[in-house]
Structure 1
Amino acid sequence: MATVPGVRFLPNAITVMALCSGLSSVAFALNGQFFAAIAAIGIASILDSLDGPAARLLNSTSRIGAELDSLSDLVSFGVAPALVVYVWKFRGAEVLPVAGGNSTVGYGWAFCLLFAVCMALRLARFNSLLDDDEPKPYAKGFFTGIPAPAGGLLATVPLLLQIRFHDGFWSTRPVVAAWLVLIAGLAVSRLPTIALKSVRVPPSLIVPLLALLVLAVALEFYEPQIILAMGLGVYLLHLPYAGWKFQYLKRHPELWMDTSKQRLSRSSTRSVRLAVRMPRRRRVAGRGPDGTPLPAARRRGALNQVRGRVQGRRRRP
Structure 2
Amino acid sequence: MTTWARGRRAVNLRILPSSMSVLAICAGLTSIRFALEHQPHAAIALIAAAAILDGLDGRVARILDAQTRMGEEIDSLADAVNFGVAPAMVVYVSMLSTSRTGWVAVLLYAVCIVLRLARFNALLGDANLPAYEREFFVGMPAPAAAIAALGPLAATLQFGQGWWTTPGLVCAWLLGCSMLVVSRIPMKKMHTVSVPPNLAALLLAVLAIVAAAAVVAPYVLLMAGIAAYLCHIPFAVRSHRWLVEHPEARGEKSTQRRAVRRASRRAQPHRRSVARLGLRKPGV
d(CA) in 2 for partners of 1:6, 1:222: 38
Residue 172 (structure 1) aligned to one of 151, 166, 169: 166
The alignment partner of 2:195 has SS state of: coil
d(CA) in 2 for partners of 1:133, 1:141: 15
Q: How far 1:59 sits from its partner (Å)?
A: 1.0
d(CA) in 1 for partners of 2:198, 2:41: 37
Question: What amino acid maps onto 2:219 in structure 1?
Answer: Q
- Structure number with bigger Rg: 1
Residue 82 (structure 2) aligned to one of 64, 73, 76: 76
Q: How far 1:60 sits from its partner (Å)?
A: 1.1
d(CA) in 2 for partners of 1:10, 1:57: 11
d(CA) in 1 for partners of 2:210, 2:252: 37
The alignment partner of 2:137 has SS state of: strand
Question: What amino acid maps onto 1:57 in structure 2?
Answer: I
Q: Which residue of 1 aligns with 2:113?
A: 119
d(CA) in 2 for partners of 1:210, 1:234: 18
Matched, 1:19 2:25: yes
d(CA) in 1 for partners of 2:162, 2:85: 26
| Aligned-CA RMSD value | 1.6
Q: Which residue of 2 aligns with 1:198?
A: 192
Matched, 1:229 2:223: yes
Q: Which residue of 1 aligns with 2:96?
A: 90
Question: What amino acid maps onto 1:226 in structure 2?
Answer: V
The alignment partner of 2:250 has SS state of: helix
Unaligned runs of 5+ in 2: 257-284
Provide TM-score, normalisation by structure 2: 0.84
Question: What amino acid maps onto 2:215 in structure 1?
Answer: F
Question: What amino acid maps onto 2:181 in structure 1?
Answer: A
Matched, 1:216 2:210: yes
Q: Which residue of 1 aligns with 2:268?
A: none
Q: Which residue of 1 aligns with 2:34?
A: 28
The alignment partner of 1:140 has SS state of: helix
Residue 153 (structure 2) aligned to one of 156, 159, 162: 159
Q: Which residue of 2 aligns with 1:7?
A: 13
d(CA) in 2 for partners of 1:48, 1:138: 23
Matched, 1:149 2:155: no
Deviations 1:156-214, CA, capped at 9 Å, x for gaps? 10000011111111110000000000000000000000101111011111111111110
Question: What amino acid maps onto 1:179 in structure 2?
Answer: W
Check whether the contact 2:147–2:222 (CA below 8 A) recurs between aligned residues.
no
Q: How far 1:108 sits from its partner (Å)?
A: 1.1
Going from structure 1 to structure 2, the CA distance change for 1:87 and 1:217 (only over 3 Å counts) comes to: same
Unaligned runs of 5+ in 1: 94-105, 263-317
The alignment partner of 1:143 has SS state of: strand
Q: Which residue of 1 aligns with 2:72?
A: 66
Q: Percent identity?
A: 44
Question: What amino acid maps onto 2:141 in structure 1?
Answer: P
d(CA) in 2 for partners of 1:240, 1:92: 36
Deviations 1:135-156, CA, capped at 9 Å, x for gaps? 2133131100110000011001
The alignment partner of 2:249 has SS state of: helix
Larger RCO (CA under 8 A, 6+ residues apart): 2
Q: How far 1:257 sits from its partner (Å)?
A: 4.1
Matched, 1:241 2:235: yes
d(CA) in 2 for partners of 1:151, 1:233: 12
Q: Which residue of 2 aligns with 1:300?
A: none
The structure that is helix-richer by fraction is 2
d(CA) in 2 for partners of 1:159, 1:5: 42
d(CA) in 1 for partners of 2:60, 2:95: 38
Check whether the contact 2:101–2:171 (CA below 8 A) recurs between aligned residues.
no
Check whether the contact 2:17–2:60 (CA below 8 A) recurs between aligned residues.
yes
d(CA) in 1 for partners of 2:65, 2:72: 14
Q: Which residue of 2 aligns with 1:185?
A: 179
d(CA) in 2 for partners of 1:252, 1:107: 46
d(CA) in 2 for partners of 1:212, 1:258: 28
d(CA) in 1 for partners of 2:149, 2:134: 27
Question: What amino acid maps onto 1:10 in structure 2?
Answer: L
Going from structure 1 to structure 2, the CA distance change for 1:227 and 1:257 (only over 3 Å counts) comes to: closer
Question: What amino acid maps onto 1:84 in structure 2?
Answer: V
